[in-house]
Amino acid sequence: MQLITFDKEKCLSCYACVKACPVKAITISSSEEILSFNHNRCLGCGNCYISCGPKAIGYIDSTEAVSQLLNSETPCIAIVDPSISAEFPDILDVRNFVGMIRALGFEFVNEISFGADVIAYKYKNLFDNFKGKYHITTNCPPIYDYVEKFQTHIIDSLVKIDSPMIATAKIMKEIHGDDCKIIAITPCIAQKREAKRFGFVDEVISFEELRILFNQNKIYENSVEFSEFDMPLGAKGSLYPLSTGILNAADINYTDIDSKIITKDGAEHFTQFMNDFASISLIKHHLNIFYCHGCAMGPGSKNNNSYLRNHSLVVDYTKRRLNSAVDKQEWEKNLEKFSKLDFTRSFTANDQRIPTPSQAKIKEVIDLLGKDQLYEVGCRSCGYKNCSEFVTDVAKGLARPEMCQNFSKTNKQDYINKINIANANLEETKKNLEELEIKLQKEHKDVKVMATLTKAIIEKIPSAVIVVDDKLKILQSNQKFIELLGQDAKEIDEVVPGLIGADIKTLLPSQIYNFFSFVLNKDETIDNKDVEIDDKLITVSIFPIEKGKTIGAVFKNLYQSEVRKEEVMYRINDVIEKNLGMVQQIGFLLGEGASETERMLNSIINSFEKEDKEEK
């Protein structure tokens, strides 16, 4: 069951939760600064929740589910942890508190302290009949969860007896039947998972969630009548919120000299206690252990900051209950009656241990951290008791190198140096960009002036002129070109001045369009091609400007008198030049021929003259 929730938008990647988790069920991805939760490894201890300053970590909210049960037709029973004495000292009379709970819609309100009484005597019987096997108490869910997941070889040492919460639920089912719904109100968020696992309890809400329900329903101390807990009432089980409370409840001797029981609590050394019990044969004591400093300091409480305060409140509350509310004879009668129920349960190994990394992998981590030695104590700022444990978990992927203070300092300094170099480079780049900007502004100004000048020159040319790009779309044209195309082009020009961007395929005959395509692809000039456009005889010249990118064209309307005259003169001159060239060529050929004929005739005459002289 997933117990812990996470809001990544609130997360500051401070590693506080990673350091706080006793089994490293929380890791941070090496590629992204995002928390990753291994819910199979999680013990539900709530350390991550307590340590998270930004409140990015929470636990599953049961208020909606409980509200639905209370609004149903099924009778609901509240079983309340005796830690209420420490959590709600502002409610001066317990009868007021019970009245507030009833006002939420509960038909019955019972104490878990009576279940604690029953379970305490089960433990007394176990310890009194000691037969050489030492046990670990199982009233605290993170404790048996830890053994099942990380110390599986001592799972048989777990006491197979229900917790007071489950025991109380079984008693309620015995009294009211299986159709009733049991809602436990406790300071322990891990009991939400215990309820789902062992049954009998339908929902669990923390004291924090109970306060939310009071506020949602506008239930206050002065708005309800006094009401007493329903039978059966608890006695010394009200001391259960203290670590030794389960022993006190049944007058189990736990003094250091005469007892075979060691009581320990607190997250600070809990794994060490468990490992010692599992590995040191000289201990030879039962271990009564709680993850928190007693249930009164549970993570689901608001008032869990002062152990001494809570201890005093629990003791005072128990004294008042024993002196005023509890009928001893009635209590003994109920204890005998309900102790006959079956309060046994079993535990199953769920090994979550990760194999120890190779020495090569550990050496790789050591080199990464820049450590020349691994300290047996270390600074502990990483959340580990020594460097060796930290390095091993980094190699397993359960910790980040950045959790090491020295590594972070070194990386931070390297980062600062890189930032300084980057800033210097940025400053140089900024200077170059400023110079480039000035240059570009000047070039832009020059281009703008040139464009204006070019446009003015094109407009002065008496012929139609256009410039097109590699897509054969108009980049520039003059008014003569627009007039050449006719009224449609003039209307377009009013919307798109100069027909900029227009495709010439839609404006010119296909023959002319093909000329443009030829020039663009072949990079060759076409001179003075005569074509017709709307009954106009046009001569067009098309020429490349920039190879494969830009071409230009000049259109002349031969029906215009000034153009016709100019074109006639140009063509006459062209014809004259061509004819003169031809005449010159003919003359040259004729001259060559006459000369050759003369040489031949002279040769013949000379030959005849020579023969005549020889005959004489």
pLDDT value of position 201: 94
In this prediction, what percent of the chain has a pLDDT beyond 70?
81
CA 253-257-259 angle, to 5 degrees, is 35
pLDDT value of position 573: 53
Determine the Cα–Cα distance for residues 23 and 26; give it in Å rounded to an integer: 8
Determine the Cα–Cα distance for residues 405 and 382; give it in Å rounded to an integer: 7
- CATH superfamily for 461-559 is PAS domain (3.30.450.20)
Element (H, E) at 432: helix 405-460
Q: Which of 17-21, 239-243, 246-250 has the lowest mean pLDDT?
A: 17-21
Contact call for residues 171 and 338 (beta carbons, < 8 A) = yes
Residue 96 has pLDDT above 90, yes or no: no
| CATH dotted code for 1-60 | 3.30.70.20
Closest CA to 498 of 468, 520, 532, 540: 468
Burial class of 75 by CB neighbour count within 10 A (0 to 12, 13 to 18, 19+): middle
The one-letter amino acid at 201: V
Residue 605 has pLDDT above 90, yes or no: no
Where exactly are the structural domains of the chain?
A: 1-60, 62-338, 355-403, 461-559, 567-616
Determine the Cα–Cα distance for residues 389 and 454; give it in Å rounded to an integer: 78
pLDDT value of position 266: 87
The one-letter amino acid at 76: C
pLDDT value of position 583: 46
Contact call for residues 467 and 516 (beta carbons, < 8 A) = no
Determine the Cα–Cα distance for residues 77 and 27; give it in Å rounded to an integer: 39
Contact call for residues 354 and 398 (beta carbons, < 8 A) = yes
- pLDDT grade for 33, boundaries at 50, 70 and 90: low
The residue with greater pLDDT, 351 or 366, is: 351
User: Which DSSP letter does residue 473 get?
Assistant: B
Tokens 């009233």 identify what position? 139
* Cβ-count burial 19-41 (b if 16+ within 10 Å, e if not): bbbbbbbbbbeeeeeebebeeeb
DSSP tally for the chain: helices H, then strands E = 21, 15
Strand pairing class (261-265; 286-290): parallel
Tell which phi-psi region holds residue 522, choosing left (phi > 0), alpha (psi between -120 and 50) or beta: alpha
Packing angle, helices 63-70 and 207-216, rounded to 10? 60
pLDDT value of position 615: 46
pLDDT value of position 380: 56
Q: Stretch 182-207: mean pLDDT, rounded? A: 93
Q: Stretch 101-109: mean pLDDT, rounded? A: 93
Beta-ladder partners of 540: 529, 555
Q: Stretch 62-68: mean pLDDT, rounded? A: 93
Closest CA to 530 of 502, 497, 571: 571
Rg, the chain, Cα only: 50
Query: pTM for the full model?
Result: 0.63
Residue 232 has pLDDT above 90, yes or no: yes
| Total count of residues recorded for the chain | 616
Strand pairing class (108-111; 76-80): parallel
Closest CA to 287 of 137, 73, 179: 137
Q: Kindly write down the DSSP assignment for every residue of 171-204, as one continuous string.
A: HHHHHH-TTSEEEEEES-THHHHHHHHH-S--EE
Contacts of 524 (CB under 8 A, 6+ apart): 518, 544
pLDDT value of position 270: 83
Tokens 């009998």 identify what position? 200
Phi, psi (5° rounding) for residue 570? Answer: -65, -45
- pLDDT grade for 586, boundaries at 50, 70 and 90: very low
Strand pairing class (4-6; 57-59): antiparallel
**436-460: per-residue pLDDT in tens?**
888 888 777 776 777 677 777 788 8
- pLDDT grade for 249, boundaries at 50, 70 and 90: confident
Q: Kindly write down the DSSP assignment for every residue of 381-402, as one continuous string.
A: TTSSSSHHHHHHHHHHTSS-GG
Q: Stretch 560-589: mean pLDDT, rounded? A: 52
Beta-ladder partners of 531: 538
The residue with greater pLDDT, 601 or 475, is: 475
Q: Which of 242-246, 304-308, 374-378 has the lowest mean pLDDT?
A: 374-378
Beta-ladder partners of 570: none
Determine the Cα–Cα distance for residues 347 and 170; give it in Å rounded to an integer: 19
The one-letter amino acid at 364: E
The one-letter amino acid at 582: M
